[in-house]
Chains A and B, each alone.
Chain A
Amino acid sequence: MMDVSRRVFIKQGALALASVGLGPACGPYFLRNTVFAAEPDRSSRATGGRKVLICIFQRGAVDGMSMVVPHGDPYYYQHRNVNGIAIPRTGQDGVLDLDGTFGLHPALAPLKPIYQAGHLAPIHACGSPNATRSHFDAQDYMEAGAPGDKSVADGWLTRTLLHCPEDAAKMNSVFRGVAMTSQLPRSLQGEADALAIPDLRTFGINAANAAPVLPRKKNRSMAMGDMQGGHDTSAAGGFEALYDDAVGDVLHGAGKETFEALKMIQSINAKRYMPASGAEYPRTRYGDSLQQIAQLIKADVGLEVAFAEAGGWDTHVNQGSTQGQLARRLQEFGQGLAALYTDLGDRMADVTILTMSEFGRTARQNGNGGTDHGHATCFLALGGNINGGKVLGQWPGLAPEQLYENRDLAVTTDFRDVFGEVAQKHLGVRDLAAVFPHYQSSPDKFRGVLKA
């Protein structure tokens, strides 16, 4: 059943092999040594028309007004103190102005050239129509793509994958949906069988357990065999053979995919990756995850939706201004996005990067030099097909009467307007109603994130 519904990427492997002059009969074992090694020039090619969406979730509710600062709104400096958390309008440490009204946080400097190239569009005052200020519920609603409805069991990216049109250029593979996380995020849960890969470098049999093992008891007359030497690498082969034997078992299918995926990943040789064009990813878990998404895209394994996350945005206390806690997080965040953009180069023509967060933070700073849970925040969209170089969305204003419940930036763009536009215009999903229950989708609601 599973085998039929997912055209395992053997098919694709065969195609790839054919493209370098080898017959499909060679089988996936050959991939390791041939396909990628034989085609060094692949790094300069686009994704072959396959559109890729990379979602980055800022868990903890990022202060959108510190990412993209509304320095032109007079109330901004009333709600936030320059000696506190506000970003100054001018000066060396001031905002990086975008259009006279909005400016990037100075820690996001690496994103400025991308904006100027027209490949970055912030979508401001974006968020959920649901009023919850619970991280738990808001993330759940956003990832399910169904604000207020807890009965939706699968994620919006899963439904997006299930409703992507099928065509020859878009072959199913075990790598269609990949999250660079240890558990599958809510966004990718459900029937699309997405993979959760916390780290490509350790995604393998026994990779983490290579340390030599000593028996706990020193009774050598027992059948300890060569256990002292630890497990040899042949364990993977043993497992593969066992799952190969299990014909007719649902585990047989899962095993097959697992070992195919493993071989594919081994062939990518994640440990020796060199980003292109001198791109420098932050040396953090977040940076690694973005770099590995780039690797998967370049390896052409059939990736369509990738998911990564960045944490540390729940800045109730000592948020900081141009320097400080939030600035450090933004520095890493922006550097990662810029590195991914640089590393993917021409491929960005087919790639959209979308950042999101469950809600924003209060317009006013609180008594602890921080901000509390608010309502709207700011999303970022990057890519060759992004209608960039301008700030999208509708600015609701920061005057007290314009604030949501007299405290938060109001939501003027439903996050589904953005998700929906990307799903439809970038990935080709036609039936948005199937992806977003209870949501009346219409092109009028799109914010013009992608070029027509």
Chain B
Amino acid sequence: MFKLRSPFHPAPLLGVLAVPGLLYTATSSRAAETTVSTKTARIGSATRPSTTKPTTLSGDQKILHTLNRLGFGPRPGDVETVRQMGLGRWIDQQLSPESIDDSKVEGKVSRLTTLNMPANQLMLAYTADTAAFIKNLVKEGKIPNGNDPINNMPATAGQVTKVDTMQLDLKPEQRRLLDMVENSGLPRGLSIQAVGELEVSKITRAVESNRQLQEVLVDFWSNHFNLDVKKGPVRTLKVVDEREVIRPHVLGTFRQLLGASAKSPAMLFYLDNARSTKEFTTPLPRRNLRAINQGFDKNKAARKSRGGINENYARELMELHTLGVDGGYTQKDVQEVARCFTGWSIDRQTGHFHFYPFLHDDGVKTVLGHTIPAGGGIQDGEMVLDLLAAHPSTAHFIGHKLCVRFVSDTPPAALVDRVAKTFLDTGGDLKQVVRAIAYSPEFFSTAAYRAKIKSPFEFAVSAVRALGGQVEVPDPTLQFGRVRLLVDGGASVGQGGGAKGLLRRFEKGRGRNSLAEEVATMGQPLFSYQAPTGYTENSQSWVSAGALIARLNFALALTGGEVSDANISLSNLMEGIPTDNHEAVLDRLSEQLLGGGLSPATRDTLMQQMAPGTPANAAKIAALILGSPEFQRR
């Protein structure tokens, strides 16, 4: 029987938590449903007119709903497991991911070599792959081509054929850089491989992690603080961002997460704060210029030789990360916030955040009516983050966005208000905020049930999970694995056409796509949304004719064994079901993939897809169910 655990219950939430229906367990379900029904009925009729659905969710529907929202959908047997342990206990466990053993999936992704690579090496890998003079040397055949792993594969990881740089006609600075690349032992092409590894790790964890809520939240916050691997060194620095900024903080306080993001080298580059400086009265000396220029873009540094603020981060910080576009800030606030963050930049050697006092504007600033005194140095930025993280607009903006992710595209205002209040009352404790949503009657309302369309990523992951599938993690120390990772990375970076050709050779001409490529084809290339807004949380926007084709084809490819890194065994799923019993085949598949609940019309349609007197094609029926309107929803 589920028990309330006091540390997680802030006072304002007790009223909500006291509704017993929310703490559904196998033994208390009946009482629970009657208690909730009046409330859900009201909400249901407010958001969805003329619905003839029952006004309350059944016990199993609640489980299914929770697995679809706080996780990436059920795997075979999950509903039964949650039924046994009690839904409340499952939710609480998910809110404390450290209490859940996840060594199996972490073991699988640990073979990916760049995920734990230090920031300076990742920076170097990016430079090695993009420096014009190195590309030139590759083109002239003077150093090996990293995008051709078949001909340039080290015998073992870390063992790279050394280039004798003295033989090459190079400027001293170029020689120094090339020596650094050569001595690091990093194979070329590693920056694209790193993106591939990031994608594979994200997909693998989403499919196989037992810490489902954590992975959903990582997906949410990684998208909230969007970065695009197509923009410069973000390509490799996103690895650091995902590892050190997003993952450790999704259930901490919002202030911690926001602070980590503000100092994320990838974010500093992506939104140009790395180059934002105070204005100088005389042009900067060359040695000082180097600090701003970060070695990425000489032209820009030259142009900005007198420095000056860049408003990009300041604006997005308020518009997208905290207050929201109508959160009550002005253009003047944008400029003042930008001044506060001058000098927040990157140390190009370490690849870490670095504050440059001589680039910082130390005058007095006024932000949202608050005075930031002169001489504050790095504290100016910290004060701004404090202000923003505790602002009521932020509480509302973040609360609303989370409700859109977890509840519906148009969450009831009363729910958003309560969640925003929890945010403010708990000092932005994200665990309590998510908890407030997960235990709300609105979350379990019939109006919310299957109301969200899955994003392509959610669709792909939930399909693999529903089929009881596993992800085959490529081994980057093997040629085949490396080529696959280059292809995956290429799908997001927008390069790597050559790697796809190599992959075909390995696959003997079969042009199979990986899960990452399929998700990209369906319209959501991972870590690759160009605009700082990230992908929209409004699920209706995923509905379009072109996108649907890609989903149907994915469903067919997946069940037909044509997705290269998805290990699917339909035979396990169909264990004990005779193929000539069409009813039984359909029952098993609809139960496994949709948790039952096929409408009579859909059921009839599917029955007609099996020719009488012939054995059922389980792969085709499974594909039809995965491609059906019902499975597009969560």
Interface residues in chain A, defined as those with a beta carbon under 8 Å from any beta carbon in chain B: 131, 133-134, 136, 139-140, 150-151, 153, 174, 182-184, 186, 193, 195-197, 203-209, 211, 213-217, 219, 222-227, 230-232, 234-239, 241-243, 245-246, 249-255, 257-258, 261-262, 316-318, 368, 370, 372-373, 405, 407
Contact = CB atoms under 8 A, between A and B. Distances in A.
B540 A203 contact: no
B629 A231 contact: no
A222 B574 contact: yes
B615 interface: yes
A58 to B, nearest CB: 15
B35 interface: no
Given A224-B579, A238-B606, A206 B556 contact: yes
Interface string B537-549: 0001001111111
A136 B530 contact: yes
30 contacts: A134-B231, A193-B544, A193-B545, A195-B545, A196-B523, A204-B549, A205-B556, A208-B557, A209-B562, A211-B562, A219-B571, A222-B575, A222-B577, A224-B574, A224-B619, A225-B616, A226-B615, A227-B617, A231-B623, A238-B620, A242-B628, A245-B599, A250-B543, A252-B629, A254-B543, A258-B548, A368-B132, A368-B136, A373-B299, A407-B299
A238 B605 contact: yes
B303 interface: yes
Interface of A is mostly: loop
Contacts of B579: 222-225
B544 A235 contact: no
Contact of A223 (B316, B585, B614): B585
Contacts of B525: 183
Nearest to B604: A245
Given A254-B544, A255-B548, A217 B605 contact: no
A250 to B, nearest CB: 6
A136 B629 contact: no
Contacts of B316: 150
B133 A174 contact: no
Interface in B577-624: 577-579, 585, 588, 599, 601-602, 605-606, 608-609, 614-620, 623-624
Contacts of B627: 239, 242
Contacts of A261: 545-546
Interface of B: 132-133, 135-136, 139, 228, 230-231, 297, 299-300, 303, 312, 315-316, 319, 325, 453, 510-511, 520-521, 523, 525, 530-533, 540, 543-549, 552-553, 556-557, 560-562, 567-572, 574-575, 577-579, 585, 588, 599, 601-602, 605-606, 608-609, 614-620, 623-624, 627-629, 632
B230 A213 contact: no
A241 B135 CA distance: 53
Task: Rank and list the top 5 A-B pairs by shortest CB-CB distance, nearest first.
Answer: A223-B574, A222-B571, A246-B629, A257-B545, A227-B619
A267 to B, nearest CB: 16
A255 B629 contact: yes
A405 to B, nearest CB: 6
Contacts of B540: 250
Given A133-B299, A245-B601, A316 B619 contact: no
Contacts, number: 202
A239 B546 contact: no
Contacts of A243: 628-629
Contacts of B548: 251, 254-255, 258
Contact of B543 (A208, A214, A245, A251): A251
A174 B620 CA distance: 28
Contacts of B605: 238, 241-242, 245
Given A204-B549, A245-B599, A254-B543, A225 B618 contact: yes
A151 B557 CA distance: 38
A208 B512 CA distance: 9
Nearest to B549: A258
A140 B560 contact: no
Given A184-B523, A254-B545, A151 B319 contact: yes
B546 A197 contact: yes
| Residue among B523, B599, B628 having the largest count of chain A Cβ atoms under 10 Å | B628
B549 A217 contact: no
Nearest to B568: A216
A444 to B, nearest CB: 30
Contact of B531 (A140, A209, A215): A140
Contacts of A235: 552, 556, 620, 623-624
A204 B579 CA distance: 28
A207 B550 CA distance: 11
A250 B569 CA distance: 32
A203 B549 contact: yes
Contacts of A250: 453, 540, 543
A225 B299 contact: no
Contact of A182 (B521, B562, B571, B574): B521
Contacts of B553: 205-209
| Residue among B545, B548, B553, B579 having the largest count of chain A Cβ atoms under 10 Å | B545
Given A151-B325, A231-B560, 17 more contacts: A133-B299, A136-B230, A136-B231, A140-B531, A206-B553, A223-B588, A223-B616, A224-B574, A230-B560, A231-B619, A232-B617, A234-B620, A242-B606, A245-B599, A245-B602, A250-B540, A368-B133
A196 B571 contact: no
Contacts of B133: 317, 368
A315 B615 CA distance: 59
Contacts of A184: 523, 546
Contacts of A140: 530-531
A251 B627 CA distance: 11
B530 A213 contact: no
Contacts of B545: 174, 193, 195, 254, 257-258, 261
Nearest to A246: B629
A317 B136 contact: yes
B627 to A, nearest CB: 5
Contacts of B521: 182
